[in-house]
Amino acid sequence: MPFPEMLTSFLPFLNKRPKEDGSEKFFGVKESAEIVDYVSTEFEIALDHAYKEHERESKAWKMFTGFNNGQWDEDIISKMKEEGRNPFQGNIIQPKVETIAGAFLKNFYDIGFEPFDGMHSDLTRAMADLMMRDKEMMNWNQSYEQWLVDFLVHIGIEEIYISDRYDPLGSIGFRPIMRGHCILDPHWLSNDTWDLKRAWKVAYLTPKQIKETYETHSDEIDFYLKMREGKNSEYEQQDETKGIPHFSLTEQFGDQYRVIEFKHIEREKKKIEFAFNSNGDMLQVPDIEDEAYIQQWMIANGVDVSLDPITRTEPVDILYVTTICPQISRNLVLEDKKSKI
């Protein structure tokens, strides 16, 4: 039997791998309507719990911007107005915060790409080049600057994403999440980010933006698109005196609807497979479901097909993203899959 055909018959790696359906993510909840209700309810509970923290963030941003007497408590403003006085309003805090941010940027600790063994190769040089290319094209510094200001005012949250704006294979980018638009898991009490298992990110999108962002085919979204035909845009961001757009995070502002991205880490069991080469060395099989790639890997590494592979089951944390918009449909899950990151 020719060697490639022998390899094809010896591909237990692909044949034995279980198909993951993610059915255990929500403790047995599988139907779309149940998932929407589950995520929506969990979000509302977390939002209620974070009320005081949300108010503190609002107060910090009012102090930073200084708009609409935001540097004064409401009871003091009312008292001054009763006395016919205008509260003093000066932009004092913002220059101080930006000066501190500038000091961080001036002494910025830039990142680099170094191989573990310290030995550079064509591959490591190519990886370093790709990283620097993504950094420039996706403007990592801009995101870092905004995150830094958010962090100094109250809390800064930055997310990593994949963009095909410049490269069809994807570029790595960073972007700060709008202040007040991310609710962190109330169970997270430590300073270790690895302990944070859940977060809810909120965005307000029009039906057209929802369809373009999530490429979702739905009669409900098409219905809302048809409703908006020939109508002007409706702009609303709530009371600006709160210092945070969409402060209440209610279901709808103008012609934009609340979209909730539920990011959650689930512990799953994963089979790790090992094969042996002609020298008896144990090699971990790549976790790729591509038969041609596995064949090339086996040839390149001299896998001994006369020896059966061994498997080991290990727990692994998987990041999932489940996205809903209950105001448009309580039966539609816009997205429910593993994160690309």
Which tens digits make up the pLDDT trace of 72-102?
888 888 898 889 888 887 788 899 999 999 9
Model pLDDT, residue 101: 93
Average pLDDT over residues 293-300: 87
Is pLDDT of 289 > 80?
no
Higher pLDDT, 290 or 155: 155
CB atoms inside a 10 Å sphere around CB 101: 20
Is pLDDT of 126 > 50?
yes
Is pLDDT of 40 > 70?
yes
Is pLDDT of 326 > 80?
yes
Which tens digits make up the pLDDT trace of 201-212?
999 999 889 988
Q: Band of the pLDDT at 310, cuts 50, 70, 90?
A: confident
Model pLDDT, residue 45: 97
Higher pLDDT, 118 or 148: 148
Q: Are 38 and 177 in contact, with CB atoms under 8 Å apart?
A: no
What Cα–Cα distance (Å) separates residue 131 from each residue in 110, 171, 225? 12, 9, 39
Backbone angles phi, psi at 228, to 5 degrees: -85, -5
Which tens digits make up the pLDDT trace of 130-170?
888 899 999 998 999 999 999 999 999 999 999 988 888 89
Model pLDDT, residue 13: 54
CB-based contacts of 124, cutoff 8 Å, min separation 6? 113, 114, 115
Q: Quote the pTM value.
A: 0.81
Q: Two tokens at 322?
A: 């489940």
Model pLDDT, residue 304: 87
Model pLDDT, residue 21: 46
Model pLDDT, residue 111: 72
Residue type for 213, please?
T
